[in-house]
Structure formats: structure tokens, C-alpha cells
């Protein structure tokens, strides 16, 4: 699908350079546009999932570091 988006981009460049409109039906163009939109939505959804996962990992690491620091503080106080 990403390849299709690239193909559409190349077609648009060629049309702009030639100044000609190829013999393509509006229905075909709309179908291709919908394909590109679908791919973009899927990519956006995957990016959001990755972002959420990265935030969760960050939060868990922060919690672990906090526990380690608290443990070190207790150990230091106990030694004094």
C-alpha cells in the first residue's frame, strides 16, 4: 500500500511535468485516494500504538528507578 502511495506521487509529478491528464476515470482516482487514506490511517494507528508502548515502558522504568533510589536512601539512613 505504501508503494501505491509512492506510485501515485510519481504519477502526479509526471502529470505536472507533461501538463496532461491521463485517461483515468474519476472512480479509479477516488479508489486510489481511498487506498492512500486507508494506508495513512493504518500507519497513524501503528504510530499511536508504538507511542503508547514507549510511554508505558518509560513510566515503568521511572517507577523502577524511584524504587531503587528509595531503597538506597533507606540503606544510607540505616548505615548512619
pLDDT score at 22: 60
Which of 49, 34, 25 has its CA nearest to residue 4? 34
Helix 2-18 to helix 26-79 angle (10° resolution) is 130
What is the pLDDT averaged over residues 6-22? 72
Which of 55, 34, 57, 37 has its CA nearest to residue 45? 37
pLDDT score at 1: 57
pLDDT band at 60 (very low <50, low <70, confident <90, very high): very high
Question: How many Å apart are CA 32 and CA 26, to the nearest integer?
Answer: 10
Question: How many Å apart are CA 39 and CA 20, to the nearest integer?
Answer: 27
Across 1-80, where does the E strand assignment appear? none
Amino acid at each position: 500500500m505504501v508503494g501505491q502511495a509512492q506510485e501515485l506521487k510519481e504519477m502526479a509529478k509526471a502529470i505536472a511535468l507533461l501538463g496532461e491528464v491521463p485517461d483515468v476515470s474519476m472512480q479509479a482516482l477516488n479508489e486510489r485516494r481511498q487506498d492512500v487514506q486507508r494506508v495513512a490511517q493504518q500507519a497513524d494507528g501503528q504510530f499511536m500504538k508504538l507511542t503508547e508502548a514507549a510511554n508505558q515502558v518509560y513510566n515503568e522504568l521511572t517507577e523502577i528507578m524511584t524504587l531503587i533510589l528509595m531503597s538506597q536512601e533507606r540503606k544510607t539512613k540505616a548505615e548512619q
